């Protein structure tokens, strides 16, 4: 499933002089140690944000959508912006775990577990927004097609909003299954090292009685490969369908055929930035710098500069088409509402351009790609930029309607709208802190699988090859093909 | 579930394991299983296992999802409650492709995971005998079931000669039972003194 032979040119995926037992020790140690003070502080902040979010949602459910400063012109504001933003963040996890598995990229092993966890938590956060935007959230089950006493009145299968229901719920389920099936062997590893009765009991239940039998591994490999094959088109479909929410409408600025690839690239872009933010902290706090190496960070930054540039091309294409179509409404939206700096929301467009298109270009430099501080800073910038992108798409297309009488310029969020967004950060980080404390944050079995091929101490390196006589090298390698 | 007698050999390197598997099989023993901390490629073939057909099951589940989606949506929108949406055809297949696709993936994934768990007899609360604690850490544990004809001591010697770092004779439950892992002696090592 991964690389079979590896060039000596490639940098090792695992640094240090590791044995299999050492790999287990390194990755399981944070789970077995007491959490640090920093963990408690972080967890406390996350839970506090979650509580504030819960109260904001309580306000919204009790008093209605009016608690948010939406109006009849700008009917989608922060909530749908946040929804698309969180879903997009989720995409990097599936990309790393599924697409890179199919492309046989060995480096995914160091980062896939945490990235998949991020996917699941991000999709959980994303789901909150459309559900609570319904207003009467106690009727949310109406989105499910089932025989009912209202006719039966079915849902509209031709509506992109219903496609979204299916896409997001399928995405969540499949990601969860993929993640958990990968966790089973690692839970068994934790279980077999456990030193208290409670740990043995809980990790025993969580591991489903995994033994490591060869037949089970064979099936597990088959399962992972097929789930990866299913997740790859799934992840593309999910953000495609999210973009259909906009693209199938007739609103200038939304009604464009470029949306699916543009949204998918943007999703991967922001997702990788979030992976960087999280993993840079995790590798430092848990001492996993041998497994999540500078090489991993370098590779992910390459993905960021690629997808950032794709997104940039999409922005320019939109501008070009706004002019080339000679459609007055399109032109007005793209050239006035968005690109004109001194229009009411021009600042958000140029904020987006600066964060998403201009600043990631710094990663053409290898030195910058391998700089931890620059990467961390840029990962935050990119996520701010991608939030602006969704805000630009939604608000700048809506605030000037066809009828000037319904124009609304002064949309700004209420405290409860912001509170809801902050609350999803609370939910995300509460889950992530618990994950980092109780789950193996790196796929132990997969690291062991690549260890003897890509571990630093197992690679002879080029020195050995360069010191041998030329005729011996030719003799050894001439018959290779 | 029956209790059986097993000869256990532990290896610490997959490079030693492969020749040992070959030697033990050539000597006429049937290897019950090898427990490894990570998937060792080629070991299933070395043990003479056939390929798994889990992916075929996945394909069938996927097709089931596709047909479920097509039949349900077309029945709902053409027979049960036809909605007139701008005079467009009731049978609007292109608009249903997203949901058909999602249900295909959902059925395939859920079905495959369920089948995987069923085939491997795994579930929360299930417990199985551990031949060696380090089988999930850094040891490759080869297990051979003893028959009346097996001379366990000979077999242990053969394993040791082929590079096993530890050898052992264990009497253990063959299948699974409901239990928790904090209770080590539940059904394990009950009758080691055979």
Among 1.20.1630.10, 1.10.287.1770, 3.40.50.150, 3.40.50.300, what is the CATH number of A20-136+156-401+414-457? 1.20.1630.10
**CATH code where residue B146 lies:** 3.30.70
Q: How many residues does chain B have?
A: 194
Q: Which helix (H) or strand (E) covers residue A216, if one does?
A: helix A214-247
A162: chain B residues, CB-CB within 8 Å: 99
- A77-91 pLDDT per residue, tens: 889 999 999 999 988
Average pLDDT, chain A: 88
Cβ–Cβ under 8 Å, residues B35 and A218: no
Cβ–Cβ under 8 Å, residues A289 and A111: no
Chains A & B: contacts with CB separation below 8 Å: 201
Nearest C-alpha of chain A: how many angstroms from B111? 11
Segment B115-129 shows an average pLDDT of: 91
pLDDT at B91 > cutoff 80 = yes
Average pLDDT, chain B: 87
Model confidence band, residue A267 (pLDDT cutoffs 50, 70, 90): very high
A197: chain B residues, CB-CB within 8 Å: 182
Model confidence band, residue A6 (pLDDT cutoffs 50, 70, 90): low
Minimum mean pLDDT among A178-187, A272-281, B128-137: which range? B128-137
Q: How high is the pLDDT of residue A306?
A: 94
Q: Are residues B139 and B101 in the same domain?
A: no
Query: Are B112 and A20 in contact (CB < 8 Å)?
Result: no
Q: Tell which residue, B76, B80, B108, B107, has the closest CA to residue A162.
A: B76
Q: How high is the pLDDT of residue A16?
A: 80
The two three-digit tokens of residue A301, written as one number? 């930054």
- Total domain count, chain B: 2
Segment A396-412 shows an average pLDDT of: 83
pLDDT at A456 > cutoff 90 = no
Q: What is the ipTM of this complex?
A: 0.92
- B4-34 pLDDT per residue, tens: 888 999 998 888 898 999 988 888 888 889 9
Query: Are B182 and A158 in contact (CB < 8 Å)?
Result: no
Segment A252-257 shows an average pLDDT of: 90
d(C-alpha A340, C-alpha A349), whole Å:
9
Nearest C-alpha of chain A: how many angstroms from B48? 11
Segment A344-366 shows an average pLDDT of: 92
B85: chain A residues, CB-CB within 8 Å: 156, 158
Residues of chain A numbered 239-258 and touching chain B (CB < 8 Å): 241, 244
Query: Are B96 and A213 in contact (CB < 8 Å)?
Result: no
**Residue B183 belongs to some domain of the structure:** no
The two three-digit tokens of residue A390, written as one number? 């969704």
Nearest C-alpha of chain A: how many angstroms from B36? 5
Segment B62-77 shows an average pLDDT of: 95
pLDDT at B84 > cutoff 90 = no
Domain range summary for chain A, segments of one domain joined by +: 20-136+156-401+414-457
Q: Are residues B133 and B153 in the same domain?
A: yes
Model confidence band, residue A404 (pLDDT cutoffs 50, 70, 90): confident
Query: Are A217 and B124 in contact (CB < 8 Å)?
Result: no
Q: Which domain-ending residue is among B101, B119, B137? A: B119
CA distances from A326 to A239, A319, A329 (A): 29, 12, 9
DSSP B75: I
Q: How high is the pLDDT of residue B193?
A: 41
Q: Which domain-ending residue is among B102, B119, B136? A: B119
Q: How high is the pLDDT of residue A479?
A: 55
Cis peptide before A376 (omega within 30 of 0): no
The two three-digit tokens of residue A182, written as one number? 């990968």
d(C-alpha A134, C-alpha A125), whole Å:
16
Q: How high is the pLDDT of residue A284?
A: 86
Query: Are B44 and A218 in contact (CB < 8 Å)?
Result: yes
Helices A415-438 and A259-285: angle between axes, nearest 10 degrees: 50
Burial of B109: CB neighbours in 10 Å, binned 0-12, 13-18, 19+: buried
The two three-digit tokens of residue A307, written as one number? 């997808």
Residue from A219, A234, A458 to probe the interface with B (highest B Cβ count within 10 Å): A219
d(C-alpha A27, C-alpha A118), whole Å:
18
- A223-232 pLDDT per residue, tens: 999 999 999 9
The two three-digit tokens of residue A192, written as one number? 């077999």
Query: Are B99 and A166 in contact (CB < 8 Å)?
Result: yes
d(C-alpha B39, C-alpha A323), whole Å:
56
Q: What percent of chain A has pLDDT over 70?
A: 96
pLDDT at A1 > cutoff 50 = no
**Residue B189 belongs to some domain of the structure:** no
Q: Are residues B7 and B29 in the same domain?
A: yes
Query: Are A217 and B44 in contact (CB < 8 Å)?
Result: yes
Q: How high is the pLDDT of residue B194?
A: 41
Nearest to B137 among A20, A203, A206 (CB): A20
A24: chain B residues, CB-CB within 8 Å: 37, 137-138
Q: How high is the pLDDT of residue B191?
A: 42
Q: Are residues B58 and B111 in the same domain?
A: yes
Q: How high is the pLDDT of residue A461?
A: 65
Cβ–Cβ under 8 Å, residues A386 and A90: no
| Total-model pTM | 0.91
- A16-62 pLDDT per residue, tens: 888 888 888 888 888 888 888 888 999 999 999 999 999 999 999 99
Q: How high is the pLDDT of residue A233?
A: 92
Nearest C-alpha of chain A: how many angstroms from B192? 21
Minimum mean pLDDT among A101-110, A373-382, A388-397, A418-427: which range? A101-110
Q: How high is the pLDDT of residue A380?
A: 94
Nearest to B39 among A21, A197, A217 (CB): A217
Look at the alpha carbons of A261, A265, B62, B48 in this order and tell me if their dihedral is positive or negative.
positive
Instruction: Give, rounded to a whole angstrom, the gap between the first and last alpha carbons of chain A.
Output: 23
Nearest C-alpha of chain B: how many angstroms from A383? 28
A215: chain B residues, CB-CB within 8 Å: 33, 44, 49, 52, 120
Cis peptide before A152 (omega within 30 of 0): yes
Model confidence band, residue A474 (pLDDT cutoffs 50, 70, 90): confident
pLDDT at A3 > cutoff 50 = no
pLDDT at A280 > cutoff 80 = yes
The residue segments making up the domain with residue B38 are 3-50+125-178
- B166-178 pLDDT per residue, tens: 888 888 888 888 8
Query: Are B136 and A192 in contact (CB < 8 Å)?
Result: yes
pLDDT at B41 > cutoff 90 = no
């Amino acid at each position: 499933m991964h690389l079979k032979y590896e060039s000596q040119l490639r940098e090792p995926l695992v640094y240090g002089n590791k044995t299999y037992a050492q790999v287990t020790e390194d990755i399981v140690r944070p789970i077995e140690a007491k959490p640090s003070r920093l963990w408690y502080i972080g967890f406390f902040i996350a839970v506090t944000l979650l509580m504030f979010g819960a109260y904001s949602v309580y306000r919204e459910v009790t008093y209605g959508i009016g608690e948010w400063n939406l109006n009849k012109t700008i009917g989608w504001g922060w909530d749908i912006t946040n929804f698309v933003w969180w879903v997009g963040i989720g995409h990097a996890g599936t990309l790393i775990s599924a697409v890179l598995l199919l492309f046989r990229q060995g480096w995914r092993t160091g980062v896939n577990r945490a990235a998949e966890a991020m996917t699941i938590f991000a999709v959980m956060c994303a789901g909150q927004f459309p559900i609570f935007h319904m207003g009467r959230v106690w009727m949310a089950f109406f989105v499910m097609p089932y025989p009912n006493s209202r006719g039966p009145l079915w849902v509209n299968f031709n509506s992109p909003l219903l496609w979204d229901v299916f896409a997001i719920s399928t995405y969540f389920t499949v990601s969860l299954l993929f993640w958990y099936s990968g966790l089973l062997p690692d839970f068994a590893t934790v279980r077999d090292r456990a030193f208290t009765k409670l740990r043995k009991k809980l990790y025993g239940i969580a591991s489903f009685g995994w033994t490591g039998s060869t037949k089970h591994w064979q099936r597990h490999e088959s399962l992972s490969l097929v789930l990866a094959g299913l997740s790859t088109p799934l992840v593309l479909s999910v953000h495609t369908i999210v973009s259909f929410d906009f693209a199938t409408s007739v609103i200038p600025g939304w009604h464009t055929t470029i949306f699916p690839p543009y949204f998918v690239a943007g999703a991967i872009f922001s997702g990788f930035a979030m992976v960087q933010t999280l993993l840079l902290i995790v590798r430092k706090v848990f001492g996993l710098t041998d497994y999540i190496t500078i090489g991993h960070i370098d590779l992910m930054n390459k993905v960021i500069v690629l997808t950032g540039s794709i997104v940039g091309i999409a922005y320019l294409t939109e501008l070009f088409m706004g002019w080339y179509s000679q459609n007055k409404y399109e032109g007005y939206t793209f050239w006035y509402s968005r690109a004109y700096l001194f229009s009411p929301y021009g600042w958000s467009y140029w904020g987006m351009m600066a964060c998403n298109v201009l600043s990631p270009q710094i990663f053409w430099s290898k030195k910058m790609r391998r700089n931890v501080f620059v990467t961390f800073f840029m990962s935050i910038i990119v996520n701010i930029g991608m939030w602006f992108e969704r805000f630009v798409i939604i608000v700048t297309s809506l605030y000037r309607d066809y009828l000037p009488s319904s124009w609304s310029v002064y949309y700004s969020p209420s405290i409860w709208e912001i509170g809801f967004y902050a609350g999803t950060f609370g939910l995300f980080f509460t889950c992530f802190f618990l994950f980092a404390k109780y789950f193996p944050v790196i796929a132990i079995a997969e690291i062991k699988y690549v260890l003897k091929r890509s571990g630093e101490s197992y690679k002879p390196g080029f020195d050995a090859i360069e010191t041998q006589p030329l005729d011996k090298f030719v003799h050894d390698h001439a018959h290779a093909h | 579930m029956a209790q059986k007698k097993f000869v256990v050999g532990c290896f610490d390197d997959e490079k030693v394991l492969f020749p040992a598997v070959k030697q033990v099989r050539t000597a006429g023993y049937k290897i019950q299983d090898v427990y490894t901390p990570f998937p060792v490629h080629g070991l299933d073939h070395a043990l003479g296992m056939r390929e798994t057909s889990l992916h075929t099951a996945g394909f069938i589940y996927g097709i089931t999802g596709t047909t479920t989606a097509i039949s349900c949506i077309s029945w709902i929108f053409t027979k049960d409650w036809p909605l007139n949406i701008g005079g467009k055809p009731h049978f609007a297949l292109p608009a249903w492709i997203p949901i058909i696709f999602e249900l295909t993936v959902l059925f395939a994934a859920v079905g495959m995971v369920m089948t995987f768990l069923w085939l491997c007899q795994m579930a929360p609360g299930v417990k199985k005998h551990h031949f060696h604690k380090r089988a999930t850490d850094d040891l490759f544990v080869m297990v051979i079931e003893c028959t009346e004809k097996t001379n366990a001591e000979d077999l242990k010697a053969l394993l040791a000669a082929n590079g096993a770092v530890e050898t052992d004779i264990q009497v253990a439950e063959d299948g699974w039972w409901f239990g928790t892992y904090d209770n080590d002696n539940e059904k394990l090592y009950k009758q080691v003194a055979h």
